[in-house]
Amino acid sequence: MVINMAKILVVDDEVGIRELLSEILSDEGHDVQLAENATAARAARNGARPDLVLLDIWMPDTDGITLLKEWSAAGQLTMPVVMMSGHGTIDTAVEATRIGAQDFLEKPIALQKLLAAVKRTLQKSVAAARRSELTLAAFSRSGPLRDLKKRLEQVAAKSRALMLKSGSGSLAELIGRSLQAPGRPWLDLAGHGQPLALEALEQAAGGVLFAAELAALSRLQQKNLAFALDRLEKFDLRLVAASGQTAAELATAGFDEALLRRLAEVSLGAPGLAELKDEVPELATQILTHLVEAGEVPLRRLSSAALNALRNHAWTGGYAELRNTLRSLALAALEEEIAGEEVTRLLAPQPSAAAQALPLDLPLREAREAFERVYFEHHLQLEDGNMTRLAEKTGLERTHLYRKLKALGIQLGRKGEEQ
């Protein structure tokens, strides 16, 4: 974008102000589009992809702050926004800035102040493009997700640390992102392989510390979690930790029990995608929109058949699996509309080479043993030798599982023996 020729969307319900701003900005060489309310602003923003939006706060259908929140939640705040108001207060300006507005202009707007704000904001935009994350606020049409958002806000208002008891197909990352203020840091503890230092917490100040699955944390990462838990207040941090396992299962797997008790002080039962089958089309549509807005994929949309195929998939990998699937579909699609066959083809289970080679000409007992051997070796590899997760996936008690593996002649590595 060239600063001298920017696309600017002016949103104001007063025709006189719209025309005045349009005349001033057009004289400066900008391409100006006008919208008289939030409905028109949504259409203009989606169609024209402006470089800058001048947004009035007080409008008849939807106020500017609400529209700003909507764009932020849906990952559509990819352009800078300058708020305008004739009844502005410091609190309103602070709230707008917190949500993601770049500047705030009081009406009547002086010519020099307008031009200075536009120039300053466009220069900032060129220097550092913003990328917002998708949050629960984007799913306003989904009753279960609206309720989850309300419960999350109630709990977060009273506690900086939150333990998510997630169902199958966890939405933990989407929930964690919903507590992340725009532009604030995000630190995934599972990806931090070194001892956590105070410097790292200082750099993450005001942000969110995240652990998608407690069972996947190493001993060192557990210590990092405990270290951070003691310093949330000092560095204005939030902690979101999730697990699909019970506290007893985590303790059996070797997780620090004292740390578990501290994390369990404030917990929230969070539905997984297995419980939200009817919400998957809405989730998929919003995720794809966000990927397009972020420039990660070309413009794509999902057909009705594609949405139905996504709805009927199990999504055991949760939010991350759904997002990665949509990214793959959008990048590989040859047409703007993604067809149902493309979803089915991508999600079709691929039998392993061992499974395809199962002998069918053996007596039933031997064939059953051969199948069980392939079955357990396959899942043991998927779970990286973790016996706790293998027992959970196969539905067998750990002692019975060890006996079964021994009877089938499956050798456990040191990692499996320790777990």
DSSP alpha helix (H) spans, 205-246:
219-229
* Contact call for residues 134 and 75 (beta carbons, < 8 A): yes
Instruction: Please check the confidence at residue 175 and state whether its pLDDT lies above 90.
Output: yes
Give every CB contact of residue 295 below 8 A, 6+ residues apart in sequence. Answer: none
**Is-same-fold flag (3-127; 137-270)?**
yes
Mean pLDDT value across residues 307-331: 93
Please indicate whether residue 235 or residue 292 has the higher confidence score (pLDDT).
235
Q: How far apart are the first and last CA of the chain?
A: 55
Instruction: Please check the confidence at residue 414 and state whether its pLDDT lies above 50.
Output: no
List, for residues 340-396, the tens digit of each pLDDT value.
999 999 998 655 555 555 666 778 888 888 888 888 888 887 777 778 888 888 888
Round the average pLDDT of the chain to a whole number and report it: 87
List, for residues 145-167, the tens digit of each pLDDT value.
999 999 999 999 999 999 999 87
The domain spans of the chain are 3-127, 137-270, 277-347, 353-418
Instruction: Please check the confidence at residue 250 and state whether its pLDDT lies above 80.
Output: yes
Mean pLDDT value across residues 191-207: 90
CATH topology of domain 277-347: Helicase, Ruva Protein; domain 3 (1.10.8)
Q: Provide the token pair at 402.
A: 């060890």
Instruction: Please check the confidence at residue 300 and state whether its pLDDT lies above 70.
Output: yes
Mean pLDDT value across residues 50-56: 93
Count of H-run helices and E-run strands, the chain: 20, 12
How many angstroms separate the CA atoms of 263 and 203, rounded? 23
Of 67-71, 122-126, 143-147, least confident by mean pLDDT is 122-126
Q: Provide the token pair at 414.
A: 């040191």
Q: Is 35 helix (H, G, I), strand (E, B) or coil?
A: strand
Of 198-212, 221-235, 283-297, 361-375, least confident by mean pLDDT is 361-375
Q: Provide the token pair at 257.
A: 């029990």
How many angstroms separate the CA atoms of 247 and 260, rounded? 7
CATH of 3-127, one of 3.90.1150.10, 3.40.50.620, 3.40.50.2300, 3.40.50.2000: 3.40.50.2300
Tokens 């949103």 correspond to 11
Of 70-79, 292-301, 303-312, least confident by mean pLDDT is 70-79
CATH of domain 353-418: 1.10.10.60
Q: E strands of 29-125, at which residues?
A: 31-35, 52-56, 81-85, 103-106
pLDDT of residue 359: 65
pLDDT of residue 350: 59
Strands 208-211 and 238-243: parallel
pLDDT of residue 129: 44
How many angstroms separate the CA atoms of 410 and 288, rounded? 43
Instruction: Please check the confidence at residue 315 and state whether its pLDDT lies above 80.
Output: yes
What pTM was computed for the model? 0.61
How many angstroms separate the CA atoms of 419 and 398, rounded? 10
Please indicate whether residue 402 or residue 117 has the higher confidence score (pLDDT).
117
Question: In whole angstroms, how far apart are CA 78 and each of 45, 159, 180, 185?
Answer: 10, 30, 16, 17
| Torsion, Cα of 99, 268, 237, 217 (10° steps) | -130
Instruction: Please check the confidence at residue 301 and state whether its pLDDT lies above 90.
Output: yes
How many angstroms separate the CA atoms of 216 and 255, rounded? 10
Instruction: Please check the confidence at residue 33 and state whether its pLDDT lies above 90.
Output: yes
Q: Provide the token pair at 265.
A: 């002080």
Percent of the chain with pLDDT over 90: 54
pLDDT of residue 48: 79
* Residue 392 identity (one-letter amino acid): E
pLDDT of residue 127: 43
pLDDT of residue 2: 45
CATH topology of domain 137-270: Rossmann fold (3.40.50)
pLDDT of residue 413: 54
